[in-house]
Amino acid sequence: MTAPPSVLITGCSSGIGRACALRMHRSGMTVYATARRPKTLKPLADEGIRTLRLDVTDEESMREAVDTVEAAHGAVGVLVNSAGYALSGVVEEAGLDDMRRQFETNVFGLARLSQLVLPAMRAARSGTIVNVSSIFGRYAVPGGGVYQASKHAVEALSDALRLETAAFGVRVALIEPGPVRTTEFGATYIANFKPVSEDYAEFRSRTAEYFDAIYTGSRRTLAGTFAIQADDVARTVERVARSPRPRARYPVGFLAHSTLALRRLAPDVVFDNLFVRRAFPVPRNTGRRPVPRVGPEPRQPRHQGDKS
């Protein structure tokens, strides 16, 4: 009987990472749960899960965690890149330092940790890398452009990595959840949104109400009704970890499946006006100054040539 793979999971202090650690441990896998602050992992340690400090913005901590798993198992069997956070706010007002921090955590940390586990995976001719993305890895909405850009980057890296490592027995898959009811993630997202211009203040207020309803269930909304639990995502991650031939992408939840299908089929103008502008808060011109209509340029008539 084949021994269960060793699993290294990032971002286990709460949310999806913690749910993955619990589910995969209870299913018999050897789990190494990690977080920036080891004390947040005590509930997992109490369950018998191995815990390690790992900060995806700190090279030394990443190397030490990978070395620990490889010393015990030869290679990391499954890497689950779950660590991340969401920077909120309009693109116009996003600070460049804040943008860099977002990419350091959500993109560069994920990429570097993948680099660290791959040599041993290639040598073993086996291994799985599971990258937790989002429906916002495939489209974007107002108020989260920087976060969504980081998830678009994760999608591109994963696509390239999947093709680059397939010949060596390494599998790479993306998890694309819809809205997940995780209080800590939602609180951080809302707190980050601090508009500078008065033009965006009202938009910020509506955005906070919208996402608070999703993450806490404080009031009934369409997105909140179909929000999923972290364990729903963990169940899919475990499925990928056990699959010898996982798919490239796994949308999770009704909203993920439905909106990604719409994105594939609808032209941009239809998707923007019939879905995004109706389903999400968007900035409104609350002042007196008129603004030009935003939309696609009118199609120019074809030149028939000079017939003179």
DSSP structure string for 119-141:
HHHHHHT-EEEEEE--GGGT---
**CATH number where 115 lies:** 3.40.50.720
Q: What are the per-10-residue average pLDDT scores of the chain (308 residues)?
A: 81 96 97 97 97 98 98 98 94 96 98 98 98 97 96 98 98 96 71 84 89 70 76 98 97 96 96 94 78 55 48
Close Cβ partners of 50 (under 8 Å, ≥ 6 residues apart): 30, 31, 32, 33
Given this model, what pLDDT does residue 292 score? 54
Given this model, what pLDDT does residue 189 score? 73
Question: What does the alpha-carbon distance between residue 65 and residue 82 come to, in Å, rounded to a whole number?
Answer: 15
How is the beta sheet containing 78-81 ordered, strand by strand?
A: 50-53, 30-35, 6-9, 78-81, 127-132, 170-177, 249-252
Residue 282 lies in a domain: no
Given this model, what pLDDT does residue 89 score? 93
**Rounded to 5°, angle at Cα 77 from 240 and 39:** 95
Residue 273 lies in a domain: no
Annotated catalytic, 139? no
Given this model, what pLDDT does residue 174 score? 98
Q: Give residue-wise pLDDT tens across range 97-140.
A: 999 999 999 999 999 999 999 999 999 999 999 999 999 999 99
Residue 247 lies in a domain: yes
Range of the domain at 240: 6-183+228-258
Q: What total number of domains does the chain contain?
A: 1
Given this model, what pLDDT does residue 211 score? 82
Given this model, what pLDDT does residue 1 score? 43
Residue 192 lies in a domain: no
How is residue 231 written in tokens? 């364990």
First to last CA, the chain: 85
Residues facing residue 128 across a β-bridge: 78, 171
Residue 132 lies in a domain: yes
Residue 42 lies in a domain: yes
Longest dimension (CA), the chain: 88
Residue 198 lies in a domain: no
Given this model, what pLDDT does residue 125 score? 98
Is residue 127 left, alpha or beta, with left meaning phi > 0 and alpha meaning psi from -120 to 50?
Answer: left
Catalytic residue among 32, 85, 139, 147: 147
Given this model, what pLDDT does residue 186 score? 65
Question: What does the alpha-carbon distance between residue 138 and residue 135 come to, in Å, rounded to a whole number?
Answer: 6
Q: What phi, psi does 156 have (nearest 5°)?
A: -65, -45
Residue 291 lies in a domain: no
Strands (E), the chain: 6-9, 30-35, 50-53, 78-81, 127-132, 170-177, 249-252
**Rounded to 5°, angle at Cα 134 from 61 and 189:** 75
Given this model, what pLDDT does residue 208 score? 86
